[in-house]
Amino acid sequence: MGARAAVPATDTPTPRRFYVHDDLSAETRERYGAGSAADRLVSELLALIRRDRARVTVLTVEQQIEMVLARGPREPFALAIGIGAAGERVARGLHARTGWFPAIRRVEVTREEDGRDGYRLVSTSQAPIAAQLAGLEAAPSLALVDDTVFSGLTMRTILDLLPAALRGRTHAFCLRCVAETLPSIEARCPITPGFAAPGRINDDVSFINASGLVRRGAIRRAGRPPLAFFERPAWIHAWFPGDAEAIVALCRRLTALLGSDPDGRA
């Protein structure tokens, strides 16, 4: 019998429910073509991810947009702020269906590891975050839009940089969130999520984007090159026990094919 590969030690728990947002399939087909090598590898990767159907759920953009719409109509907002490229895509996707966000502006931010087992929010442009949010005070209504609210660090930080009077005219939106994080956002402004997952962060529930598995930029480190999730194999073993080695191998091949983040973040 052949020797088994050692499983890396990790403090990352295996979440009881794990949600993978498929932001990779449609984009890969659009860029490389249906049936291309990249498209086939993405399909193979997602098939592996779906094998643990009792624990792992793959979410589509359309499913989550429908969940947001089911929470009721809205009057158009004077301005929508998309948090990063992902938040801007969500805002544009929702606007295409609803007309809620006729004016959309992106704030260039990302989470970065702080070297102390935590994270901080940093600007990905030359302008500091506060400078990017300048001039919003006169907006009669403001939408703050992101794809995911996990710990809430990103949305709370941005909300806390807004003047209190403007926060009173702000409504937040996201496609998916951890339900236990919502009160910390609701203390600042109302929020409409698409899908709200119950349970404790990491232990009971966790989220990732499929693109983060293969694109460097999912993990940001101060003064060091960005990483894709597969470059933290201990995380992959925690998230996908039993299939981790095959998933890492596929991710490595996809990274070689797909190259940098299409939004220029890696």
- The 3-class secondary structure across 208-233, one letter per residue, is EEHHHHHCCCCEEECCEEEECHHHCH
Q: What is the pLDDT of residues 149-205, one digit of tens each?
A: 999 999 999 999 999 999 999 999 999 999 999 999 999 999 999 999 999 999 999
Residues 139 and 180 in one domain: yes
Asked, for residue 186, whether it belongs to a domain, the answer is yes
Q: What is the pLDDT of residue 2?
A: 34
Same domain, residue pair 190 and 67 = yes
Residue 183 lies in a domain: yes
Structure confidence at residue 260 (pLDDT): 55
Whether residue 102 is found in the same domain as residue 185: yes
- Degrees to nearest 5, angle at CA 84 with 205 and 173: 60
How many domains are contained in the chain? 2
As a whole number of Å, the CA-based R_g of the chain is 19
Write out pLDDT tens, residues 43-76: 999 999 999 999 999 999 999 999 999 999 999 9
pTM: 0.90
**191 and 72 part of one domain:** yes
Question: Which domain-ending residue is among 197, 214, 244?
Answer: 197
- Summarize pLDDT for 105-154 with one digit per residue, the tens: 999 999 999 988 899 999 999 999 999 999 999 999 999 999 999 999 99
Q: Are 81 and 142 in contact (CB under 8 A)?
A: yes
Structural domain span for residue 30: 13-59+229-259
Amino acid letter at 11? D
- DSSP notation for 34-69: TTSHHHHHHHHHHHHHTT-TTTEEEE-HHHHHHHHH
242 falls within a domain: yes
Mark whether 147 and 112 lie in a shared domain: yes
> Do 122 and 154 belong together in one domain?
yes
pLDDT at 262 over 80: no
Residues 127 and 167 in one domain: yes
Q: What is the pLDDT of residue 116?
A: 87
The answer to whether 236 and 212 have CB atoms below 8 angstroms apart is: no
Domain termination residue (choose one: 197, 216, 242): 197
The verdict on residue 221 lying in a domain is no
Do 177 and 69 share a structural domain? yes
CA 48, 174, 32, 235 torsion-angle sign: negative
- How much is the pLDDT for 69? 97
Q: What digits encode the pLDDT tens for the residues 98-107?
A: 999 999 999 9
Residue 3 lies in a domain: no
Domain with residue 183: its CATH number is 3.40.50.2020
129 falls within a domain: yes
User: Distance (Å, rounded) from C-alpha 172 to C-alpha 152?
Assistant: 12
Q: How many Cβ atoms are within 10 Å of 80's Cβ, its own excluded?
A: 28
Start-to-end CA span in the chain (Å) = 41
Q: Is residue 224 part of a domain?
A: no
Domain match, 55 and 89 both: no
More confident residue, 7 or 52: 52
**Residue pointed to by tokens 């301005």:** 79
214 inside domain: no
Residues 81 and 179 in one domain: yes
Q: Which of 155, 182, 197 is the last residue of a domain?
A: 197
| Together in a domain, 237 and 168 | no
Same domain flag for 185 and 167: yes
Average pLDDT over every residue of 199-220: 95
